[in-house]
Amino acid sequence: MAQPSRLHPALAGHAHTLHIALSTVGTSSPLLPPNAISRLDRWLKRNPFVVMANTSSRQQLDMVGTLLWNDCTHLISLRGQNPEDMLILGKVRAFAFVVLNMAVMPDLLGDLRALDLAVKAARICIVNQQSEIAVNILSVAATRLSNIQPAHLGLDAAINRTITTQYLLLRMRLAWLHERADIAEHFYGKLPVLHRSHDEEWIFETCFIIGDSALARRLPDIAITWLQRASDHLQSLHMMIKFPYYYDWDLVIRHSLVVACSQVKIPLATAIYDFEMSYLRENYPFHPAVILFDLSMGHGNPSNDGALQALERLVDGMTLTDMNMPIIFQYARSLGHIGYLDTPIGERLC
């Protein structure tokens, strides 16, 4: 890596070039030309993610880094639905973090600011599965976090818990991205015991992401553990603030949990399945996801015609959408595939 005296002007210069390019980009034109992306990749591969306490160009770095960071924020709001754009913006935000990380003051407030920026930059990279960049950012975050841990600094305990929680949650997601469930477990065990409401929201969200991903990877035993944690933290969050999206998430998490339990043939999974399924039938008796899952599991041992009639009643009583129609027809096709239907699906559902 270049010497600090040479690195700072080069960083500021490249950040300024990126800012000029991104601040003038149109709504549909490419964010950056290929040569600019290649140059950005070369910068990030040099691993400029370091903590430097003293720099004479702090003000210059702070100004251009802030401009570049704000460019990313603006473009994410405009073009965040485009995966290719998000990959580029993840790299640009990581580079903006590099610049701003070198600009912060070498004190408590500087460490706090760098940690906040690190969490935001790393989160995008983890979502993008840009794991190498995320590791480098979080290595800086770890150093910054260690700087604020001593109690004599006088940092408010709640702020310390929140920062530590955010850092550990990103470590958990990164570990899972690397298929290291054991490391994710390790970091989960380090989470502070007392949480504020937004801490609980981040925790339940992270636990659900890991649990849902484990279910998709056909790892139901791991999925059960993390989905139960997601449910527990969601309940805690709702008790704190009456979470407005509680019932949507409650249904999603519990439904995923019973799906996972149905794939594990051990007494504990069976007990969890029975409890959660009873809860779903009692609290969401008319929801298509619950009805279809019950039908797929043969609840009540319906006859062939009984299963189809239940499906027809479901279709008659709901508004068909682009989201629920594929689920319904997938189940209907499964009935036909195993010989439950004597007539075509389309005719029976008309």
In the 3-class helix/strand/coil scheme, how is 256-281 assigned residue by residue? HHHHHHCCCCCHHHHHHHHHHHHHHH
Q: In the predicted model, what is the mean pLDDT of the chain?
A: 84
One domain for residues 188 and 201:
yes
Is there a contact between 209 and 252 (Cβ–Cβ < 8 Å)? no
* Region for 207 from its dihedrals, namely left if φ exceeds 0, alpha if ψ lies in -120 to 50, beta otherwise: alpha
C-alpha to C-alpha distance for 251 and 260, rounded to whole angstroms: 14
- Kindly tell me if the per-residue pLDDT of 53 is higher than 50: yes
Structural domain count, the chain: 3
* pLDDT of 344 above 50: no
Q: Is residue 349 part of a domain?
A: no
- Please determine, for residue 55, whether its predicted confidence score (pLDDT) is greater than 80: no
Nearest alpha-carbon partner for 115 in 97, 130, 134:
97
Question: Which of the four pLDDT bands, split at 50, 70 and 90, describes residue 340?
Answer: very low
Domain shared by 268 and 320, yes or no: no
What lies within 8 Å, CB to CB, of 347 at 6+ separation is none
pLDDT of residue 306: 60
Domain range enclosing 131: 33-148
Predicted TM-score (pTM) of the model is 0.79
For residue 338, pLDDT over 50 is answered with no
Q: Note whether 140 and 94 are within 8 A (CB).
A: no
Is the pLDDT confidence value at 157 over 70? Answer: yes
- 3-state class of 53 per DSSP? coil
Instruction: Please give the C-alpha separations between residue 134 and each of 172, 288, 331, in angstroms, as whole numbers.
Output: 12, 39, 40
- Does residue 258 lie within any of the structural domains? yes
Residue 132 has pLDDT above 90, yes or no: yes
Does residue 346 sit within a domain?
no
